[in-house]
Amino acid sequence: MQTIGMKPSSSLTERHRGSPGGEAPTPVLAAAWCAAVASGALLALTGPGAPWHSALTFVFLASAPGGAVALALSGLDPWSRAVAALGATLAVNTLVAQALLMLGTWSARTGVVAVGAVGWLVLTGALAGRLVRRRRTARERVG
C-alpha cells in the first residue's frame, strides 16, 4: 500500500515563514501587548481613576481567553487560530457575564477575575499538554 502525502503550496510556506509555529511577529510587539493586558487587569482590580481604565480593561477581557486558546491551537494556521480565539473570547465573556448575572454577583472586578481564571485554566491545560507530549516523545526516542 502506498501512502500519498500532501505538500503545502510554496506561496503559503513563504507567506508564513516569518512566524513559524505562530509566534508573535516581533518580541517587542508581544511584550507591549502583554504589558497592556496586564495593566488592564490591574486597573480593573484597583478601581477607576485612570483615563485609560475602560480601554485597557476591554483589552484584557478581549485577549485573556483568546490568547490562551490561540496558544493551545498553535498547530493551526494563523487565520484559523484567530477565528477560534475570537470565538472563544466571545463565548467566555458571554458565559461569565451570564453566570455572574444569574448569581447576582456582577461587577467589573468579579468579571475580570472570572475571565482571567478561565484564561489561566486554558493556558495551564495547553502548557501541561505540551509538557506531556514532549516527555512522551523524549521517552520514545530513548526507548
Instruction: Indicate the helix (H) or strand (E) that contains 82.
Output: helix 78-103
Q: Dig out the grid coordinates for 26 from the structure.
A: 516581533
DSSP string for 59-74:
HHHHHHHHHHHHHHTT
pLDDT digits (tens, 9 = 90+) for 75-111: 889 899 999 999 999 999 999 999 999 999 988 888 8
pLDDT digits (tens, 9 = 90+) for 6-37: 555 444 444 444 444 555 456 777 677 778 78
Backbone phi, psi, residue 81, to 5°: -65, -40
